Amino acid sequence: MVTEQNKSKRGRDILVFLASVAGIILLNILASSYFFRLDLTEDKRYTIAPVTKQMLGDLQQEVVVDVYLEGDFPAGFKRLQQSVRETLDEFRIYAGGNLRYNFIDPTQIGNEEERNEFYTSLAMKGIMPTNLRATEDGKQVERLVFPGAVVKYNGKEAAVNLLKGNLAASSDERLNQSVEGVEYELATAIRKLAFQGGKIIGYIEGHGELEQSQVADLIGSLGQYYRVARGDLAQIPSLDALDLIIVAKPTSAFSEADKYKIDQFIMKGGKAVFFVDPMNANMDSIGAGGTFAMPYNLNLDDLLFRYGVRLNPNLIMDLNSGFIPMVTGYLGDKPQTEMVNWRFYPLLNNFAKHPITRNLDAVYARFVSTIDTVKADGIRKTPLVYTSTYSRIMEAPVPLTLEEARMEVNPQQYQAGQQPVGYLLEGKFTSLFRNRRAPEGVANTQVQEQGVETKIAVFSDGDLVRNDVNPRTGQAYELGFDRFNNVTFANKELALNTVHYLLDAEGLINVRSKEIALRPLDKVRVREEKTYWQLLNLVAPIVLLGVFGLTRYYLRKRKYERF
């Protein structure tokens, strides 16, 4: 009878074994046919956006990413390094074999001359080094770090700066902002190289807008993603062939026919970005005796008013401002120049929680005005950019004199609070020409009075997109670069993000909304309880293992002694 029982038990064991093997094989077959990944983190830090997955799956050739973040870094940079590696691992999975990456340490090049040449080549590509200060073996050391990558595709390449974020934030917060933006920065570079869009942007001319040299960097940067055309609005019968138009610092009035073309373009779903100066103010006109800033007559007020905003005839002064060079004295016959605060040049560092402005660094403005919202049925109005809390509003006519920079500041005059200077408007707009005839001189006289769903953005500073020009060479500086202080502000990023959002609202720009919670350790508790937690982590597992072994030994002994 015992033999029969043993045979029956052995048969059941064999069946269980075979069933287990069959289950494992079936599970592997299903896993190879149905791919899935689970992200169990609270903030979904390992989840790739659907638009990124689709883009990676559509790659026709291999993408190579060279990342210059190899080496032994402090905890903050190591977290950024690990995040880049994990993101590229995810990219490689969804790219179907069309992506590979390399981590490179530029400092490991043995030959000093070759190393310096390599450093220069990285800087020429746009990957600028940063000095990383850290403590090693109780000593303060500095390391040169290149926090960037180069993406290569089909003989083309694009540089990616991975250390982003707001410079006003703490180092930990800025590194966290950089981690949040890793997917967007890498995916945008891949899209720029592999999927240059067919959408067309029109840069409007004919009203004293910024000249070609003054928007060279903006147009060149947009040209990496879209097709950009420039043209005199009076000579263009219709804007229907365009997807978006840019109006950048006009200085003369728009005709009714020009406004009609813009209005009907927006009614049909076209997008628009307006960078408009309500006031005629510039440094060249101030001179030694000063001048007055007066309102422009651009004939755009009624158009923007109908869409939901009003640009006010005033100028904002801000204690958080940029610097200008000024002669403060003479040494013999040589003028002595110093950089002094010019409060008509606000540094805009307060932003809405929106994909356009998320984790954006400060933006440099020149002679900016306030914006009010007005009633416009069905239009969602989102303020994007604000001045600082310490602002002052000067109504037209505004006296402009360089003596203002030398005057002692009275804080009581700067109590206007944060002032919005940029708005995003979304919805179905009503035509300015509703219940009106089309003006003379237009090709299409059939007025579309109610628009379809679309978006426009309005900023009360035309200089936000103006790049300086090198007076000696005539070459355009990078948009946002302050040549007097050798600092680059985020003007270009703001302009590009705005255009990307308007043209691709459901696309990559929304990846910028990704938020990873920063959970820093309590440094006081770490210092006070360091020994306790070290002992708990080192000794407790050994004790638990010993207790488990003794308990198991006792139970087995008791069982077999009774037998």
Instruction: Give the range of the structural domain holding residue 116, as residue numbers without chain letter.
Output: 50-194
- DSSP letter for 506, please: T
CA–centroid distance for 131 within its chain: 23
- 32 inside domain: no
**Nearest to 379, CA basis, from 264, 483, 456:** 456
pLDDT in tens, 253-312: 999 999 999 999 999 999 999 999 999 998 888 876 789 999 999 999 999 999 999 999
pTM for this entry: 0.80
pLDDT in tens, 116-146: 888 888 888 888 887 766 555 556 656 778 8
CATH, residue 375 = 3.40.50
CATH, residue 157 = 3.40.30
How confident is the model at residue 560, as a pLDDT?
75
Residue 293 to residue 344: CA distance in whole angstroms: 11
Pair (204, 163) in one structural domain: no
Pair (76, 154) in one structural domain: yes
How confident is the model at residue 521, as a pLDDT?
60
How confident is the model at residue 5, as a pLDDT?
62
Residues with pLDDT less than 50, the chain: none
How confident is the model at residue 467, as a pLDDT?
95
Q: The dihedral of CA 452, 51, 349, 399: what is its sign?
A: negative
How confident is the model at residue 450, as a pLDDT?
94
Which residues fall within 8 angstroms of residue 542, CB to CB, at 6 or more apart?
none
Pair (186, 210) in one structural domain: no
Pair (265, 377) in one structural domain: yes
B/e letters for 440-463, b = 16+ CB within 10 Å, e = fewer, are eebeeeebeeebeebbbbbbbbbb
- 14 inside domain: no
- The domain total for the chain is 2
Pair (381, 463) in one structural domain: yes
Is the link from the previous residue into 50 a cis peptide, with omega within 30 of 0? no
Pair (186, 205) in one structural domain: no
How confident is the model at residue 283, as a pLDDT?
85
Pair (158, 132) in one structural domain: yes
How confident is the model at residue 337, as a pLDDT?
82
Pair (499, 457) in one structural domain: yes
- 546 inside domain: no
- 391 inside domain: yes
- 157 inside domain: yes
**Nearest to 260, CA basis, from 232, 286, 237, 290:** 237
How confident is the model at residue 315, as a pLDDT?
96
Pair (177, 281) in one structural domain: no
Pair (217, 186) in one structural domain: no
